[in-house]
């Protein structure tokens, strides 16, 4: 099994890479700083006897996203799972956030997934198999204070996911949008929030792996998971 994960150097992306390594999958990972994680990648290869390739890229840049996709195509004859996890959060309001913040959020949170998916889809369609996960957010479903352009970009990613799901039905390619609520990643570690109040990264990993394990006849279209006590 060949698995491609963006935003793989930390948080949900890193945890998913480790989970698929345990399953014996070969990995192609991408983030802006993957070169800082060479020891971790080497440990995955040695521990699980798998291939781990990686690429440094700022996927908000269209040419960089397309370059990464081409490297994946050159390395893997087929891609079984693509996880579009690269993303960025900056709080703001439509009326008060800095000029250019919408364009920035759209490039990181939507366009990166759009360009990589378009490049990898043709082989999936020929094979009539493959599964694409787009890591969206509860912000894609419900407006909230200080969501601003981040929330707008995640709504757009959900729209991309739903349209792609419809297009891929006759081609045997699955598409799943994942909407995590507050999850204990690096961005929350310094927020002073009680770890018991928010979800663990492994909660998201388990749901993604479960959705990917169903029969070809079944597709989980969306995964919505929130902390037991609700959103913060």
- Contact assessment for residue 9 and residue 31, using Cβ atoms and an 8 Å cutoff: yes
- Contact assessment for residue 34 and residue 58, using Cβ atoms and an 8 Å cutoff: no
Active-site residue (options: 20, 111, 114, 150):
150
- For the question of residue 114 being annotated catalytic, the response is no
Give the number of other Cβ atoms within 10 Å of residue 29's Cβ: 25
Residues with catalytic function:
150
């Amino acid at each position: 099994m060949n698995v491609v994960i963006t935003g793989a150097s930390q948080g949900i992306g890193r945890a998913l890479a480790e989970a698929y390594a345990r399953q014996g999958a070969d990995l192609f990972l991408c983030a802006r700083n993957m070169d800082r994680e060479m020891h971790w990648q080497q440990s995955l290869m040695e521990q699980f006897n798998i291939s781990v390739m990686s690429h440094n890229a700022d996927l908000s840049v269209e040419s960089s996203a397309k370059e990464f996709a081409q490297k994946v195509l050159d390395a893997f004859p087929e891609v079984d799972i693509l996880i579009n996890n690269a993303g960025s959060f900056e709080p703001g309001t439509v009326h008060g956030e800095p000029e250019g913040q919408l364009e920035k959020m759209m490039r990181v949170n939507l366009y990166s997934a759009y360009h990589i998916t378009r490049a990898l889809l043709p082989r999936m369609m020929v094979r009539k198999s493959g599964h694409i996960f787009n890591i969206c957010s509860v912000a894609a479903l419900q407006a909230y204070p200080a969501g601003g352009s981040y929330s707008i970009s995640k709504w757009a990613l959900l729209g991309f996911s739903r349209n792609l799901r419809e297009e891929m039905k006759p081609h045997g390619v699955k598409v799943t949008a994942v909407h995590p609520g507050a999850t204990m990643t690096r961005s929350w570690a310094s927020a002073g929030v009680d770890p018991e109040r928010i979800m663990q990264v492994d909660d998201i990993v388990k749901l993604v792996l479960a959705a990917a394990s169903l029969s070809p006849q079944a597709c989980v279209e969306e995964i919505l998971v929130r902390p037991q006590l609700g959103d913060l």
